[in-house]
Structure 1
Amino acid sequence: MKVKPMSSRRVFLQNSAAAIGLSAVAGFPNLAVGRVATEKRLLFVILRGGLDGLTAVPPYADPHYRPARGALAVPPPGERDGAIDLDNRFGLHPALERLMPLYRRGELLIMHAISIPAPTRSHFVAQDLLETGAPKGEPLRQGWLNRALSYFPVTDTRLGLSVGYEIPNVLRGNNPVASWAPSWLPETRPDLLDKLADIYQDDPLLSKALAEGRYAREMSNRIIGGKDMMRSGNLRRERQFGTLTKAAGRLLAAPDGARLAVIEMGGWDTHTNQVNRLKRNLKLLGNGLATIPDSLGSAWRDTVVVVATEFGRTVHTNGTKGTDHGTGSAAFILGGSVAGGRVASYWPGLAPNRLYKNRDLAATTDIRGLFKAVLRDHFGISHVDVETSIFPDSAGAKTPPGKIII
């Protein structure tokens, strides 16, 4: 990947608003026109690599599940290392057990056999379709969450937020967004920042960038608890996702914080040794998601968390105790605003003649239908705007079965 060089330090400071050596929340004004209820929040968690939905949410009652999956099959409820029963049809992988209290309270909805609209086995193409909301082929030029920001009000805070080290495509576009990431670097000395302020005081562009960067650091320290959140132990891989979910929850909960946030989590491309790798990754996922209600506090009741991946995995194992790129997978929808406590699926079955191209779980739900329902029913964006501006050419992407938002 080629990186375009910055033409000057002025451009660098303008683009980063982080001249103080900090990854934090930037406070540029949002340029969008507001028509939505901004007490609502959305956190989108992208599982990069292709989550095996047949392991995360095993359809243990399907008579073809265990014969097709062989050693990869999660045992049914009641057996050793068996799935946790959800509805006498589907189970939850035991590594995700910390999500069960949410399911029992009706705050976790699971969708199965869901995927992007145009099946592909390319990570790059699939992730672009997932994040831009394009119907097929070439991705759209902006991420669908960035397009959604056009319907949010003008504020002094950027309402779109990336929690991590890069801004994902789903947030990229014409509307400015912020970012926060834990840092290994020591904080910049206040006296150095004061000297920079003196140097830049006659330059409107640089002085504004520095002021906004300082405000960003103060805001993140106030909301997140800076130093504690950035301790080196919290940045190790086994803790990093939990660190990001806690930070996202606190930043979304703040009255002057973001309203749309995105976290990425990798490690789901399980071509080899899938059983052990998924067990570990699912535990990290479940533990991290379970921290979000406490981090959000009272804002949890106005929050939706969507967890999705670019595609599923093949039904049958490969020659290296793993699976290859597939089609249908599972998505998780959590939150105090979610009509949960159930598995929603137009289940296609795993009989050989029901598999997509004789190898994949067929996708019966277009994931754009889920995204559209959240924007329409949670934020109140009009049906026309969702269908024409945010997800064009998506009339066929119907809402998944049942109610999603309370």
Structure 2
Amino acid sequence: MYDRRSFIGASVASALTLALSPRMAFAKAETDKRFVFIIQRGAADGLGIVAPVGDPAFVGARGDLAADFATAAKLDSMFALHPELSVLGGLYTKKQALFAHAVASPYRDRSHFDGQNVLESGGTSAYQVKDGWLNRLLGVLPPTEAKAIAVSATVPLALRGRHDVSSYAPSGLPQASDDLMQRVTMLYQGDSQLHALWSEAMNTRQLTSDLAGGGGANAAATGALAA
């Protein structure tokens, strides 16, 4: 079973590593560049990921939590990266990753849900904007490159808006046989509405084929799927 810290380490490291891999392809897009946006809804402690070990007050302020960084690799004279994120540390060394520490939105109240709304909508206050900033981004990209998929049971606010996006959530159910999928395709062939929906679902299924090992039930598989 993954604890929260292992989940953060595995999902971020595997997703970012595979996102930067030139071997992956995405629906015949004209560029090999990808943007992977990971929302950790349970929140992430920035000081538990990139710690200011060079600050004399760090150990006293963090107590037992500081022990995690006793053998951590240093990024520079001030900061060290959590040992579970060694793969991400390697990307940093190769200048393929950067850390933006202590970054915050304009929101200053104490509601977790309002703060999340600001994070995903890109507004200056909660519920000021009805769509998500990632969906608006699709509107300024070239049409051939404006493709997005949410690896989630529901499309998060960040991707909601007037531009169409796909979604996919790993399932623990047995895989349907190719024969069954073909029969359903034939069944919907003459239906103007269901045929379009089914075709989109099949395109998403092809996009995610062979990447959801173990039904995507663990963090590493979900990270690979996102990448």
TM-score (norm 2): 0.75
- Separation in 2, partners of 1:64, 1:92: 18
Contact 1:162 1:177 in 2 (8 A): yes
Counterpart contact for 1:133–1:140, Cα < 8 Å: yes
Partner of 1:207 in structure 2? 195
Compared CA separation, residues 216 and 99, structure 1 to 2 (3 A): closer
Aligned residues: 199
Task: Tell me which of 163, 170, 173 is aligned to 2:151.
Answer: 163
Q: 1:92 to 1:198 in 2, by over 3 A?
A: closer
Deviation at 1:127, TM superposition (A): 0.9
Would you say 1:244 and 2:227 are equivalent positions?
no
Post-superposition offset of 1:190: 4.5
Structure 2 CA distance for aligned equivalents of residues 215 and 69 of structure 1: 48
CA shift for structure 1 position 162: 0.7
Offset of 1:166 from its aligned partner? 2.5
Point out where structure 1 has 5 or more consecutive residues left out of the alignment: 1-26, 28-36, 250-406
Q: Distance in 1 between matches of 2:62 and 2:204?
A: 49
Q: Could you say which residue in structure 2 is the equivalent of 1:5? A: none
Q: Quickly say closer, same or farther: Cα 1:195–1:59, change in 2 above 3 A.
A: closer
Q: Relative CO higher for 1 or 2, CA cutoff 8 Å, sep ≥ 6?
A: 1
Q: Which of 113, 118, 134 is 2:102 aligned to?
A: 113
- Please give the alpha-carbon distance, in whole angstroms, between the structure 1 residues aligned to 2:196 and 2:102: 48
Instruction: Give a deviation string over 1:358-385, Cα, whole Å, max 9, x none.
Output: xxxxxxxxxxxxxxxxxxxxxxxxxxxx
Structure 2 partner of 1:184: 172
1:82 aligns with 2:71: yes
Q: Match for 1:55 among 48, 51, 59?
A: 48
* Deviation digits for residues 81-131 of structure 1 (CA, Å, limit 9, x no counterpart): 333211111111222223221121111211212112222322211111111
TM superposition shift of 1:75? 6.6
Judging changes above 3 Å, is the alpha-carbon distance between structure 1 residues 198 and 123 closer, same or farther for their aligned structure 2 residues? same
Name the CA shift for 1:230/1:165 in 2 (closer, same or farther; >3 Å). farther
User: Unaligned regions of 5+ residues in structure 2, if any?
Assistant: 1-26
Aligned partner of 1:175 in structure 2 is 163
Taking the aligned partners of 1:163 and 1:124, their CA distance within structure 2 comes to 21
**Bigger Cα Rg:** 1
Q: State which of 128, 136, 141 in structure 1 corresponds to 2:130.
A: 141
* Counterpart mapping for 1:304-323 below 5 A: none
Aligned partner of residue 179 in structure 1, secondary structure: strand
Secondary structure of 2:43's match?
A: coil
Q: Which has the higher helix share?
A: 2
Identity %: 36
Q: Which residue of 2 aligns with 1:301?
A: none
Q: Which amino acid aligns with 2:166?
A: A
Q: Distance in 2 between matches of 1:100 and 1:200?
A: 49
Q: CA deviation at 1:136?
A: 2.2
2:214 alignment partner, one of 231, 240, 251: 231
What corresponds to 2:63 in structure 1? 70
Change (3 A) 1:195 1:126: same
Q: SS in structure 2 opposite 1:114?
A: coil
Residues 166, 204 of structure 2: 8 Å contact kept: no
Aligned pair 1:153/2:142, yes or no?
yes
Counterpart CA distance in 2 for 1:92 and 1:216 is 35
8 Å contact from structure 1 (residues 167, 179) kept in 2: yes
SS in 1 for 2:88: helix
Instruction: Please give the root-mean-square deviation of Cα atoms over the aligned residues, in Å.
Output: 2.6
Name the structure with the higher strand share: 1
